[in-house]
Structure 1
Amino acid sequence: MRQLSFVISGGGTGGHIYPAIAIADALKQKYPEANFLFVGASDRMEMQKVPKAGYEIEGLWISGIQRKLSTKNLLLPFKLVSSLWKSYKIIKKQKPTIAIGTGGYASAALLKMAGWMQVPTLIQEQNSFPGITNKWLAGNAKKICVAYPDLERFFPAEKLVQTGNPVRQDILNKDISSAEAFNYFELNEGVKTILVLGGSLGAKAINELVASRIAFFKENNVQVLWQCGQLYYERFKHLATAHIKIVAYIDRMDLAYGMADCIVSRAGASSVSELAIVGKPVLFIPSPYVAEDHQTKNAEAVVKANAACMIKQSEFEAKFDAQILALLHDKALIENLSSNFKKLSKPEATAHIVNEIEKLIKE
């Protein structure tokens, strides 16, 4: 059997990048001699995050469709042709055993070209409502790994396998002490702690909400680890105090999750999957700006299982304070939500996806 070669693509946001890295890490553990190459968009965050995870990455000149009328859309045909041509050269050079895509427009050209060149392809869809890219790639895909049931209306039923979403292995690290976590983030052990997450790039509305509640946190003796995102750090960093730790990005999520008494988060699919494994009380504030409002659907599914709380962005000014205090102090609520959320977790999702990849390799 010739040496295995994996080409992996997915990017634009952490929700596409981290599942890709999780899959690569699991494959590398089983096949340490295999070749790995990531392919992403040349101007997006995967160009920094993937090398930091220890993998090579090639960038494509590609971007998504601007929803608003924009002259940038005029470049799309040229970017697509350029990306398909570069993908052709990458595949010809790498001779991949299989191409794997986790969504985002960066994976569109690579996996479409891989399919045309008779390379087996597997795509992984994190959301209950698939993105444009994966729907476009489904025709050529050999296998489609999904996190939610009932996606036959979007994808061929015979290709579907419900695996759950891959999560970063570092969050499964249980061998950390409370003291280590608090020391790392320079916060006080023994003080109720809220972890605020708005996604890897940040969430403007959540950031503005937290900024307006600094006095509330102080009055209630609450400290906050606030990931405001790379786009907003310069705007909000001046609000940091001894009890309000503000960072653009958290590189030790295992410590952040371990330290938190409750978590405020968007409801992207990868975030929901990680938080289920963590099993802490969560307040979801779904983004209302994503396709088909899928973050609200993600959060509603968890709330329906009595496993988390949710406030719509349009209502959080009125409801946030009372909900946060309940998540910090109502022992019965905390225990109930945590127990139910853990029941929804799929910590073996990455292993199941690797099993599907191995089946394709052996065909």
Structure 2
Amino acid sequence: MKVILSGGGTGGHIYPALTIADQIKKLCPDADISFVGTRQGLEKDIIPRYGYPLQFIEVAGFKRSLSFDTLRSVGKLFTGLCDAYKIIKEQRPDLVIGTGGYVCGPIVLLAALHNIPCCIQEQNAMPGVTNKILARYVRKVFLGYKEAGKYFHGKAELVYTGNPIRSEILEHTRQEAVKKLGLDPEKKTILVSGGSRGARSINQAMLEAELALSGRLEVQVLHATGDVNYEQYMEAVRKRGGVAANIIIKPYLHNMPMALAAADLAVFRAGAIGLAELTAKGVPAVLVPYPYATANHQEFNARAVEARGAAQVILDKELTGERILEAIEHLLLHEKDLEKMQAAAKALGQPQAAETIAKQALALAKK
């Protein structure tokens, strides 16, 4: 069984592909799995660390306005199609899976046109352009959000699976995590993260909220500011008189699975995989969508989770310390509301998404 996976540019496309690849390997240990990416995307650094071979094609994304860059992208698209054709001819895969990003366009399209079983996985509630095009040629589209289904047209079967998450997300209990992280098991834990690099607007708002929550007996905050923001944030805290021991501020959380296990409430951006991890653990959230995400897809993600009662959305332009403190304090004071959100998050979670995708994709190849 030869399987090619492709998805790149950002971690949001790469990590789902890796998670699916790992599940395929579990289900089919003899599978020959390889990846296709570009030399410009993060995949060139990430994929090799996981032990999978990576081949490169030359392709670039299209600007949303007509320019010289658009013409150059057209030229690279033809180069990418030629590169993809060579890979398909050499490897003769039994299955090709795309997880988004322009890099997967040529390889999935050409494989589909050669009648090789193909499928794609869409992480967001608002699909990307590449996946919307590929949906007309592939056999299955695996949806991270049901809401995305209305944007796909063509003969492909749409299957709602949720988004694939790392298996280690599910490994820890709250009791274990609180002990490992040195937290108080009697206090509600609020986990704050703006992503691996942090989010300046969330940090600014949380500064006011953490000063107000400092010293409170019923709550503790675990806040990852992002490496680039940490010194500036700590200087701002010092200027305001500092915070008590219940406010824990780190530049980066190296063990996010443990932090998620300890969390009773999160303050997060609305990236698809982060939300999948939160809901798999049943963690409700105050979500602040990144306002510059392509096609505003983070707000679509956040609204989908909010509609099911598992989150409250505050837009970045409306975010203030007062607003976020009000949301946090309401949930601390109204235990029943927090419990309802936790139950809604747990109901929304799809912890077996990667296994479901891998099984159904392999079934296509065996037909």
SS in 2 for 1:124: strand
State yes or no: 1:52 paired with 2:55: no
Q: Does the 8 A contact of 2:36 with 2:104 survive in 1?
A: yes
Judge conservation of contact 1:281–1:327 (CA < 8 Å) in 2.
Answer: no
Counterpart of 1:171 (choices 166, 169, 172) is 169
Q: Call closer, same or farther: CA 1:66–1:152 in 2, change over 3 Å.
A: closer
Contact 2:137 2:154 in 1 (8 A): no
List, as ranges, runs of 4+ consecutive aligned residues in structure 1 with deviation greater than 6 Å.
Answer: 186-189
Distance 1:48 1:228 in 2: 24
Identify unmatched segments of 5+ residues in structure 1: none
**How many residues of Structure 1 are paired with residues of Structure 2 in the alignment?**
354
Aligned pairs for 1:303-314 (under 5 A) are: 303-314=306-317
Q: Among 94, 104, 107, which residue is 1:110 paired with? A: 107
| 2:214 is the alignment partner of 1:218 | yes
Q: Is the 8 A contact 1:182 1:259 kept in 2?
A: no
Shift of 1:126: 1.9
Query: Partner of 2:338 in structure 1?
Result: 334
CA offset at residue 340 of structure 1? 1.7
Gaps in structure 2 of 5+ consecutive residues = 235-242
Decide whether aligned partners of structure 1 residues 135 and 348 sit closer, same or farther in structure 2, where only a CA change above 3 A counts: same
Q: CA-to-partner distance for each residue in 1:121-144, whole Å, 9 max, x for gaps?
A: 111112222110101212221211
Deviations 1:181-232 (A, max 9, x none): 6645x76766654322333454443344345655345354765444445xxx
Q: C-alpha separation between the residues in 1 aligned to 2:290 and 2:302?
A: 10
Distance apart, 1:180 and its partner CA: 5.2
Separation in structure 1 between the aligned mates of residue 34 and residue 174 of structure 2, nearest angstrom = 35
Distance apart, 1:279 and its partner CA: 0.8
SS in 2 for 1:326: helix
Give the distance between the partners of 1:63 and 1:181, measured in 2 at CA. 45
Residues 69 and 297 of structure 1: CA distance in aligned 2, closer, same or farther (over 3 Å): same
RMSD: 2.9
Secondary structure of the equivalent of 1:18? helix
- The residue identity in structure 2 corresponding to 1:196 is V
Secondary structure, in 3 states, of the residue corresponding to 1:333? helix
- The residue type paired with residue 245 of structure 1 is I
Contact 1:128–1:294 (CA under 8 A) maintained in structure 2: yes
* CA gap 1:259/1:152 in 2 versus in 1, 3 angstroms: closer
Which 10-residue stretch deviates more, 99-108 or 83-92? 83-92
Tell me, in whole angstroms, the C-alpha distance in 1 between the residues paired with 2:12 and 2:278. Answer: 13
**Which residue type is aligned with residue 281 of structure 1?**
P
Query: Structure 1 CA distance, aligned partners of 2:67 and 2:225?
Result: 28
Tell whether the 8 Å contact from 1:8 to 1:100 is kept in structure 2 after alignment.
yes
1:236 aligns to what? 230
Letter in 1 for 2:162: G
TM-score (norm 2): 0.84
Distance 2:153 2:195 in 1: 27
Report if the CA contact (8 A) 1:6-1:98 is conserved.
Answer: yes
Say if 2:90 is the partner of 1:87.
Answer: no
Q: Closer, same or farther in 2 for the Cα pair 1:211/1:111, shift >3 Å?
A: farther
1:129-144 maps to which residues of 2 (within 5 A)? 129-144=126-141
Deviation at 1:111, TM superposition (A): 1.2
Counterpart position of 1:8? 5
Tell me the amino acid that sits aligned with residue 169 of structure 2: I
Q: 1:358 aligns with which of 337, 351, 362?
A: 362
How is 1:183-262 mapped onto 2 (pairs within 5 angstroms)? 183=180, 192-200=188-196, 202-210=198-206, 213=209, 215-218=211-214, 220=216, 224-228=221-225, 233-240=227-234, 243-248=247-252, 250-262=253-265
Q: CA separation of 1:41/1:200 partners in 2, compared to 1, >3 Å: closer, same or farther?
A: farther
User: Relative to structure 2, which stretch is displaced further, 124-133 or 234-243?
Assistant: 234-243
CA separation of 1:87/1:206 partners in 2, compared to 1, >3 Å: closer, same or farther?
farther
CA distance in 1, matches of 2:171, 2:287: 24
Aligned to 2:326: 322
Is the CA contact (8 Å cut-off) linking 1:99 and 1:121 kept in structure 2? yes
Of 337, 347, 350, 1:346 maps to 350
Identity of aligned residues (%): 36
